[in-house]
Amino acid sequence: MMAACRPWGAVLLLCLPLWGCSPTRAPAKEPATAGFELTDVAKTDLNLFLETNRREVMGHLRTLVDKLYQRNPFQLRRSRLPSRPDNLQRMFDRFHNWKFSELNDITGVDCIQLAFDETFQGDRVLALGAGLGSMLQASYNNKREFYVLDSLDPQKLYNSARNLELVAWKLSRTRTSQGELFLLSNEVNSPTPNLSFERQFGKMIAIQDSTARVVAQKTRRLIKDTLQFLVFLPI
């Protein structure tokens, strides 16, 4: 009986490789952790903290720019693009290093001041948004991702927060020679006060200040309190 079974055993052995090659469904992979990427292995908690805060502050800036376009629709007529969404996409969703030809490629504080220059005939919302965006990005050393060997200067982060305070003040106080505000923002003297612009600035200032304190603590560097006297601080 055992001899009679040997041929069948040989058949089974021959079929095993075929079964191994048969089209079977691969086991489903476990879902990756939300937001996790392989590059995160080379990042510390501080690196991830910096990336999160940079995204948050830019998100609030985008909301601020959108609200400024809504409050100042006449600025769209000065823009190269016809609508708010187009301008927001151009400003925040494309790689341009915050340089725009109609602003003569200037960035940072110089671009912010352009928004309050009476001789400037272009889109003041674009000038302010690009100036703030490039200033904030510079406070993060123009980086979007941070790794173990990366470090930031807490003084730059602190200075950017003070500059945000100055811009918020200028929006509500600085006027043209005709006595008009360069850009409309908060609406205090009305039946329905609008302080949403102030809240957006407050959120951005809080993020930059908290980031500066954490970086200063981690790097054991001191932050110098600076008196502005209505002058923008260097980044």
Domain assignment present for 26: no
Nearest of 147, 144, 122 to residue 133 by alpha carbon: 144
pLDDT at position 38 is: 58
Domain assignment present for 29: no
Residue 104 has pLDDT above 80, yes or no: yes
CA distance 125 to 115: 7
Strand intervals (E) in the chain: none
Domain assignment present for 232: no
Domain assignment present for 30: no
Residue type, 146: F
Q: Give the single-character DSSP code of 42.
A: G
Domain assignment present for 8: no
DSSP secondary structure of 80-98: SSSSHHHHHHHHHSS--TT
Domain assignment present for 215: yes
- Domain residue limits at 124: 40-219
**pTM flag (> 0.85):** no
Report the domain count for the chain. 1
- The pLDDT tens digits of the residues spanning 137-180 come to 999 999 999 999 999 999 999 999 999 999 999 999 999 999 99
Domain assignment present for 138: yes
What six digits make up the tokens of 222?
Answer: 């001191």
Contact between residue 157 and residue 194 where contact means Cβ atoms under 8 Å apart: no
What six digits make up the tokens of 159?
Answer: 């200075």
- The pLDDT tens digits of the residues spanning 22-73 come to 343 333 333 344 465 656 677 999 999 999 999 999 999 999 999 999 999 9
Domain assignment present for 227: no
CA distance 211 to 216: 8
- The pLDDT tens digits of the residues spanning 196-235 come to 999 999 999 999 999 999 999 999 999 998 777 789 999 9
